[in-house]
Amino acid sequence: MAQRNPSLSALGEFGFIDRVKKQAKSTLTSAVIKGIGDDTAVCRYSTQEHLLLTTDMHVEGVHFQKGMGGEKIGWKALACNISDIAAMGGVPKYALISIGMPSSAHTDFIHNLYKGIQKAARCFNVAIVGGDTVRDSKIVVNVALTGLVAKKHLVLRDGARKGDQIFVTGSLGNSLKRGKHLNFMPRVEEAHYLVKKYKPTAMIDISDGLIADLYHILEESGVGARIEENNIRKAPGATLEQAFYDGEDFELLFTVKKRDAQRLLKTSQPFSFIHIGEITDKKKTCVCVMKNGQEKKLQRRGYTHF
């Protein structure tokens, strides 16, 4: 029997999100196309476009240490939201930046933090239009970002079907050690190229880890996956385990129909798209064909907050 008042660690991050999702359901209107459960929310906007909304919070001691440098942390705080907009096939537009900090915080650090946010905003044509500042016991940065997506280019997590082919946009694993998690380029250009030329059936950005994020697609689409060890491109210094389960690579993971995949693989591409496997009808099951030819079931795990 489910506990009535479980601790957050007993409930887990995704258990908690499920609860919130149920509570939020009664507030949804017909203007909401997608609420909780994708990279961003999707709402009706105009005859041609949908509005995208997303937010991400970064807390000192959990997501960053001050020693990492304010500018890099600022870049990351906005860039990971931009990455979520990209995963929907959208264009980032307007940001609200809220910061909590202790009165003892050094103004240099805060100045550099904003500098990093500004750098990412300029790079991706995002306008910073507001926010809030509060006193807190440690530094907390929250970024809320809106975006727009052409209706015909919107990609959700729930469209993957048996036979679709699975791709990623880069090498994976070891992101934290390599510092990639602080200076990655959100794959906005790649996403726009894909939605225009190949119309992915499902897409997500890899923040929790390849396997954890692949499971998000499998769950939403009601399908399974078979990936090949031989096709996984490990980042420098990364083991296969790290390529599977490390988070914060911020590459795109997407599926396309078989005929589009053949076209994608045959044509020379301006970006790197790595074919890693295919969608199966074994619901919510991900297996990996290992180098020795044997199939191994991959457990769903990755970084969770609680």
What residues line the site for Mg ion (CB under 5 A)? 39, 84, 205, 207
Nearer to Mg ion, 157 or 257 (CB): 157
Structure tokens at 90: 């959208």
Nearer to Mg ion, 229 or 248 (CB): 248
Nearer to Mg ion, 213 or 229 (CB): 213
Three-class secondary structure assignment of the chain: CCCCCCCHHHHCHHHHHHHHHHHHHCCCCCCEEECCCCCCEEEECCCCEEEEEEEEEEEECCCECHHHCHHHHHHHHHHHHHHHHHHCCCEEEEEEEEEEECCCCCHHHHHHHHHHHHHHHHHCCCEEEEEEEEECCCCEEEEEEEEEEEHHHCCCCCCCCCCCEEEECCCECCHHHHCHHHHCCCCHHHHHHHHHHCCCCEEEECCCCHHHHHHHHHHHHCCEEEEEHHHCCECCCCCHHHHHHCCCCCCEEEEECHHHHHHHHHCCCCCCCEEEEEEECCCCCEEEECCCCCEEECCCCCCCCC
Nearer to Mg ion, 205 or 251 (CB): 205
- Beta pairing class for 41-44 and 32-34: antiparallel
Q: Shortest approach of Mg ion to residue 188 CB, angstroms? A: 13
Q: Shortest approach of Mg ion to residue 247 CB, angstroms? A: 11
Nearer to Mg ion, 205 or 260 (CB): 205
Q: Shortest approach of Mg ion to residue 225 CB, angstroms? A: 18
Q: Shortest approach of Mg ion to residue 54 CB, angstroms? A: 8
Nearer to Mg ion, 84 or 251 (CB): 84
Nearer to Mg ion, 39 or 249 (CB): 39
Q: Shortest approach of Mg ion to residue 204 CB, angstroms? A: 6
Q: Shortest approach of Mg ion to residue 53 CB, angstroms? A: 13
Q: Output the residue with the shortest Cβ distance to Mg ion.
A: 39
Q: Shortest approach of Mg ion to residue 121 CB, angstroms? A: 19
Structure tokens at 58: 């970064």
